[in-house]
Amino acid sequence: MLFYNYMIRRYKRLDSSAGWLAHAMRMDRERFPKNSIRKLEAWKPLIFGYMKSHPELYSGCMDAFENCWEDYVKCEKSRLSRNSSRR
């Protein structure tokens, strides 16, 4: 699952820092980087850099990004592990 999709599905209705990040991402859906599910650690600095270059949307969301990214990576690794064990 893409980080964008993960955030929107999981946090879009929450009144929290993660919810605010998901809201900002949704407002920026046309431009927000859509990562591949491979090479997750390579995508983190790209997405982080994109967010830093758009402070009008993401100011105050960087800590939420760090926490949500960690959760996202755990979720994806678990999902990929389950899928590979089913083969």
Predicted confidence (pLDDT) per residue in 16-52, tens digit:
999 999 999 999 999 999 887 678 888 999 999 999 9
Convert 8-47 to b/e letters by CB count within 10 Å (16 or more is b): bebbeeeeebbbbbbbbbeebeeebeebeeeebeebbeeb
Q: pTM of the entire structure?
A: 0.85
- Number of domains making up the chain: 1
Contact 48, 32 (CB under 8 A): no
pLDDT at 81: 80
Domain of residue 80, residue span = 3-85
